[in-house]
Copies of this chain bind each other. A is one copy, B any other.
């Protein structure tokens, strides 16, 4: 599974919460963390409301760590991890989870690969036994390789090549990053995926799949002591890989030239303008810029009451949708994104001009203090509700710990968001919204390529694809 996640829903929940509850400082997540002796990090999130558990193993390895020319191998290996091991038959792990009434899956992104099962809490040991087994005992037959390569190629075909928006986003990323591997799609370039072989997958597996490169996250009806005992039993016996390579990636040179691209496709039902700016990410102990950018995205384009929506959808009525997106949970430099979908009859040139005029006006107007206060209130509310969703918390820690952040950084984040000032936001807007570091893209209705079927693209670009 290639991971995408929507930012849109995050804020919706908190609106009706009584204001009183929101004045208090954030209570810390019900989280316990420790390391095993072999270097495996463990995060336990307690939630005893239901007798279920979510068991996740996150590897600090993603598509941006792949060898040159082997794009897609991280995701390919994710698929292959469901095949034969020394102790399980191909498909046995998922079948066992299902037989025990649970679900399982996995996902890959630029910075991490993760495997999870959701199952009755008394099955946790069984989950660990199977997950630990495939951490070290994966076999790979040539038959598995050939079959699963066809599967990922078909996945690319369905998710990317048959989706003009996905192709467009892929091109935007490729032009945004001049040197960094985030310019290469998580699923891989097709011509490189076709060449992936057993040696590629095994090398990647033996190099990066080890307890000292993994984070175990367990959330649900468990105690930290129980988890510790089981983790030591199943994962603690696996030796660390002493030759784990450092995570060094090629970084961007200064971005000094504004870039544009147009992608035309007969299958485009809804043309739109996309803009991305290179932007800083959350770094350990250094998350203030990211917090300000997170609020900037909410203010500019976080829903119907945002600045761009007001200007483009309600005042000038040039757009049916506008949005701003920023996640910041990324090992290296990420992007700050804008999108404007014009109403019928408004050209992309006019939509872009209106967007740039609105941005310029925003730089003059500055942050509306009422809007900022409202957004902070909504964030607090959302964070309180989020605590009911242990899977969400598990996900948050997994993503953070695989992108260089610490437990302390995760716990500091909500308060850092509350501390952001209007000045912080405008300072980041000035710093990040630089044309020289931007790509502007037009997704356009174009000529039908030979043999292509025209299909309407119904979804609006409401998801950020920083983590695909």
Contacts and interface: CB of A to CB of B under 8 A. Distances in A.
A451 interface: no
Nearest to A181: B68
A259 B174 CA distance: 11
Contacts of A248: 69
Interface in A412-467: 441
Interface string A255-294: 0111111110000000000000000000000000000000
A250 interface: yes
A174 B178 contact: yes
Contacts of A68: 68, 181, 249-250
Given A178-B174, A189-B179, A256-B263, A249 B69 contact: yes
Of A190, A251, A253, which is in contact with the most chain B CB atoms at under 10 Å from its CB?
A: A253
A261 B263 contact: no
A71 B250 CA distance: 9
Given A179-B189, A184-B179, A192-B250, A260 B259 contact: yes
Nearest to A265: B256
A221 B190 CA distance: 52
A262 to B, nearest CB: 5
Interface string A51-71: 000000000000000001101
A196 to B, nearest CB: 13
Contacts of A253: 174, 189-191
Contacts of A257: 168, 171, 175, 261-263, 441
Contact of A260 (B69, B183, B261): B261
A375 interface: no
A343 B174 CA distance: 34
Nearest to A171: B257
A191 B256 contact: no
A253 B262 CA distance: 17
Interface in A173-212: 174-175, 178-179, 181, 183-184, 189-192
B175 A69 contact: no
A124 B69 CA distance: 42
A358 interface: no
Interface string A67-87: 011010000000000000000
A258 B439 CA distance: 12
A2 interface: no
A238 interface: no
A414 to B, nearest CB: 34
A167 interface: yes
Contacts of A192: 250-251
A251 B183 CA distance: 14
Given A68-B68, A178-B174, A256-B171, A191 B251 contact: yes
Contacts of A71: 179, 250
A258 B256 contact: no
A135 to B, nearest CB: 27
A183 B191 contact: no
A190 B250 CA distance: 12
A249 B191 CA distance: 12
A259 B263 CA distance: 9
A259 B257 CA distance: 12
A167 B253 CA distance: 11
A256 B266 CA distance: 13
Contacts of A249: 68-69
Nearest to A185: B253
**What are the nearest 8 A-B pairs in CB distance?**
A174-B178, A257-B263, A69-B250, A171-B257, A260-B260, A189-B253, A257-B261, A259-B261
9 contacts: A68-B250, A69-B249, A175-B178, A191-B251, A256-B263, A257-B262, A258-B261, A259-B260, A260-B260
